[in-house]
C-alpha cells in the first residue's frame, strides 16, 4: 500500500514509525514531515490544506491511503473532498470534525446523546448580558471556551467573577478572532484528566491504549498551558470498571449518535475525560490522535496499523486484530527555552544517536546537510517502554540527558505523580 501521512509533529513521527512496521506498506510519504519522519519514509513539501495539490500528488504517486495527523485538514473537509474517490482518508468528514471544530456543536451533541459532561450554555455577541447572568449563577472557578479552533489557547479558567466577565467580553469582542464569536461557558469539573482513544469505521470501534498528558509547562502542573509536555500510558486508575463506564456512557453513545446524525466518521476519536470520583465526564472531543499521547500509544499498540486503517476505510474494522502491550510507556518532551511563549529556532541538536534503549520522536526538528536543528517549540520527545512505570520513567530521563541543544527544557516530573499514586495504593 502507498500511504500519504499529513503533519509534522512528534505524533506524525510515531505514526510514521508504526506505519513503516507494517508488511503491507509499499511507500510512505509524509507532508511536510520532519527530520524524524524522514527515517521512515519520504518527506514531501505539500500544503496540507491545499486539497487540489494533494490530489495531484496522490494520482502521480498512486497513493491509496491518506492519514490525517492534525485536525485542520479534517475541519476544512479533506475527507469530503476525497469522498467516493481514491485515496481513502483516515479521518472524519467535515461534519464529524465539527466535534473538535466547534465546542458548541460538541456540547449539543453530548447533551443530545446523554453523554456525561459539564453543564453549559453558549453565547454570541448579542447575548453578552445573558452570559453575565449565567456566570452569576455559577460557582468559581469559571470555564470559558472559544467555540472554534484557537490553536489550543481558547480555554480560559479564572477564579474571580469579575475576571470571568471581562474575559467573556474580550472573547466575544474578538480576542480569538472568528473562533470566539461564540463562547461556551461551563461548570468546572474537579478530578483527574485522562485521554481515551478509539479508531472507528463508523460502525464498530477499537479502544486504543489510554494516556495521561501533562499540559502545563512547569513541574507540579504549574505555569502556562502547552500542547503537552509529556505523557504516560497506561494510566493506573483506568481499570476494568472505569473502562466499562467510559465504553457504556461515552464511547457507545458517541458512535450511535454519529450514526443517528448520519455523520460519516472513519478515523480516530480522542475523548478528553475527567475522572470525577470514579465517574467519567467528557470534557472535549478531538478528531485526531493527541500529541504527545501518540508517542506513548503507538509503542504499546500490538497491531498492524495499516490492517486497522484498511478496516476503517472498508468498514470491516470489526474483524481486525488490535492488541495492547502490557508494558508501560512514558514520554518526556524537550522544548525550546521560552516555549510556550517566544523562543529561538535553528540550534543544532546533538546526542540523538546516542539514545540506544529508548525512542526519540522528532517534532519541531529539521535536518540540513546531515545535522539536525531545532525548528519549533516542542522539539522532540523521548519514549521509554518498560515492564513497569518506575523503570520507564527512569530510562526516559536517563536517555533525555544525552540530548543537547541550546536552552533545552523539559519537565522533571513526568509520570512521577502516578508512581506516588501506585505506591500509596500498594
Ligand atoms: P479543552 O480545550 O476543552 O480540552 O480544555 C483545555 C483544558 O482545560 C482541559 O484539558 C482541562 O484541563 C481544562 N478544562 C476544560 N474544561 C474544563 C471543565 N469543565 N472543568 C475543569 N477543567 C476544564
Ligand atoms: N496533547 C493534547 C492534544 O493533543 O490535544
For 248-316, what is the HEC assignment?
A: HHHHHHHHHHHHHCCCCCCEEEEEEEEEECCEEEEEEEECCCCCCCHHHHHHHEECCHHHHHHHHHHCC
Which of 96, 60, 69, 98 lies closest to 8 in space, CA to CA? 69
Question: What cell was used for 6?
Answer: 499529513
Ligand 2 atom closest to the Cα of residue 215 is 1
Q: Which residues line ligand 2 (CB under 6 A)?
A: 213, 227-228, 286, 290-291, 293
Q: Which residues contact 343 (CB under 8 A, 6 or more apart)?
A: 335, 336, 337, 377, 407
Give distance in angstroms: CA of 98 to centre of ligand 2.
Answer: 16
The pLDDT of residue 422 = 53
Q: How many CA atoms does the CB half-sphere of 418 hold within 13 Å?
A: 27
The dotted CATH code for 2-99 is: 3.40.50.20
DSSP H or E segment with residue 397 = helix 389-400
- This prediction's pTM: 0.95
Position 93 scores a pLDDT of: 97
Q: Where are the domains of the chain?
A: 2-99, 119-186
Q: Is the minimum distance from the CB of 184 to ligand 1 under 6 angstroms?
A: no
Sequence-distant (≥ 6) Cβ neighbours of residue 369 within 8 angstroms: none
CATH topology of domain 119-186: Dna Ligase; domain 1 (3.30.1490)
Looking at beta carbons, which pairs linking 127-136 to residues 24 or more positions away fall under 8 Å? Answer: 128/168, 128/169, 128/172, 131/168, 131/172, 131/183, 131/185, 132/165, 132/168, 134/185, 135/161, 135/164, 135/165, 135/168, 135/185, 136/161
CA–CA distance, 125 with 131 (Å, rounded to integer):
9
Q: Are 208 and 238 in contact (CB under 8 A)?
A: no
Question: Pick from 319, 305, 231: which is nearest to 67 by CA?
Answer: 305
Lookup: cell for 121: 450554555
Cell of 66: 491518506
Yes or no: say if 123 and 131 are a contact pair by the CB < 8 Å rule. Answer: yes
**Beta bridge pairs of residue 382:** 332, 360
Local confidence pLDDT in tens for the 426 residues of the chain: 999 999 999 999 999 999 999 999 999 999 999 999 999 999 999 999 999 999 999 999 999 999 999 999 999 999 999 999 999 999 999 999 999 999 899 999 999 999 999 999 999 999 999 999 999 999 999 999 998 887 777 888 999 999 999 999 999 998 888 888 889 999 999 999 999 999 999 999 999 999 999 999 999 999 988 999 999 999 999 999 999 999 999 999 999 999 999 999 999 999 999 999 999 999 999 999 999 999 999 999 999 999 999 999 999 999 999 999 999 999 999 999 999 999 999 999 999 999 999 999 999 999 999 999 999 999 999 999 999 999 999 999 999 999 999 999 999 999 999 987 654 443
Q: Mapping DSSP to helix (H, G, I), strand (E, B) and coil, where does residue 191 land?
A: coil
Q: Phi and psi (nearest 5°) for 346?
A: 95, 10
Q: Give the nearest ligand 2 atom to 288 CA.
A: 4
What 8-state DSSP symbol labels residue 373? E
If you write DSSP's letter for every residue of 198-230 in order, what string do you get?
EEE-SS-EEEPPPBEE--EEETTTEEEE-S-SE
Distance 201 CA to ligand 2 centre (A): 22
For residue 342, what is the DSSP state? -
Q: Is 189 in the pocket of ligand 1 (CB under 6 A)?
A: yes
Instruction: Choose the residue to mutate in 283, 288, 291, 340 for probing ligand 1, maximizing ligand atoms within 8 Å of C-beta.
Output: 283
Question: Residue 365's beta-bridge partner residues?
Answer: 374
Smallest CA separation from ligand 2 atom 5, residue: 290
The helix (H) or strand (E) run that includes residue 381 is: strand 378-386
Q: Is the CB of 156 under 6 A from ligand 1?
A: no
Amino acid at each position: 500500500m502507498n500511504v500519504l501521512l499529513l503533519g509534522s509533529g512528534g505524533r506524525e513521527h510515531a505514526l510514521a514509525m508504526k506505519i513503516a512496521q507494517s508488511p503491507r506498506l509499499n511507500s510512505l510519504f509524509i507532508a511536510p514531515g520532519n527530520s524524524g519522519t524522514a527515517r521512515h519514509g519520504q518527506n514531501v513539501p505539500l500544503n496540507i490544506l491545499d486539497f487540489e495539490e494533494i490530489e495531484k500528488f496522490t494520482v502521480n504517486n498512486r497513493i491509496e491511503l491518506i492519514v490525517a495527523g492534525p485536525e485542520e485538514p479534517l475541519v476544512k473537509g479533506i475527507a469530503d473532498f476525497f469522498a467516493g474517490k481514491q485515496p481513502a482518508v483516515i479521518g472524519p468528514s467535515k461534519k464529524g470534525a465539527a466535534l473538535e471544530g466547534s465546542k458548541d456543536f460538541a456540547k449539543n451533541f453530548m447533551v443530545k446523546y446523554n453523554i456525561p459532561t459539564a453543564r453549559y450554555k453558549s453565547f454570541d455577541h448579542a447575548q453578552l448580558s445573558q452570559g453575565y447572568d449565567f456566570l452569576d449563577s455559577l460557582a468559581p472557578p469559571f470555564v470559558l471556551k472559544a467555540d472554534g479552533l484557537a490553536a489550543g489557547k481558547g480555554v480560559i479558567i479564572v477564579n474571580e467573577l469579575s475576571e470571568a466577565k471581562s474575559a467573556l467580553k474580550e472573547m466575544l469582542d474578538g480576542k480569538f478572532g472568528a473562533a470566539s464569536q461564540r463562547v461556551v461557558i461551563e461548570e468546572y469539573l474537579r478530578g483527574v484528566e485522562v485521554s481515551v482513544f478509539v479508531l472507528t469505521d463508523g460502525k464498530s470501534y477499537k479502544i486504543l491504549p489510554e494516556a495521561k498528558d501533562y499540559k502545563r509547562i512547569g513541574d507540579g502542573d504549574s505555569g502556562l498551558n502547552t500542547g503537552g509536555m509529556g505523557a504516560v500510558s497506561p494510566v493506573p486508575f483506568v481499570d476494568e470498571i472505569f473502562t466499562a463506564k467510559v465504553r457504556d456512557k461515552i464511547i457507545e453513545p458517541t458512535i450511535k449518535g454519529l450514526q443517528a446524525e448520519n455523520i460519516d466518521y472513519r478515523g480516530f476519536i480522542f475523548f478528553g475525560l475527567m475522572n470525577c470520583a470514579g465517574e467519567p465526564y467528557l470534557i472535549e472531543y478531538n478528531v485526531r490522535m493527541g500529541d504527545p499521547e501518540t508517542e506513548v500509544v503507538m509503542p504499546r499498540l500490538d497491531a498492524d496499523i495499516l490492517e486497522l486503517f484498511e478496516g476503517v476505510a472498508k468498514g470491516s474494522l470489526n474483524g481486525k486484530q488490535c492488541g495492547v502491550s502490557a508494558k508501560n510507556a512514558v514520554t518526556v518532551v524537550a522544548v525550546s527555552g521560552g516555549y510556550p511563549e517566544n523562543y529561538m529556532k535553528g540550534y543544532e541538536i546533538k546526542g540523538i544517536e546516542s539514545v540506544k534503549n529508548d525512542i526519540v520522536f522528532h517534532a519541531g526538528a529539521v535536518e540540513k546537510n546531515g545535522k539536525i536543528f531545532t525548528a519549533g517549540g516542542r522539539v522532540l520527545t523521548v519514549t521509554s517502554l518498560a515492564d513497569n512505570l518506575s523503570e520507564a520513567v527512569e530510562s526516559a530521563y536517563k536517555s533525555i540527558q544525552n540530548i543537547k541543544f541550546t536552552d533545552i527544557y523539559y519537565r522533571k516530573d513526568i509520570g512521577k505523580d502516578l508512581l506516588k499514586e501506585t505506591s500509596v495504593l500498594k
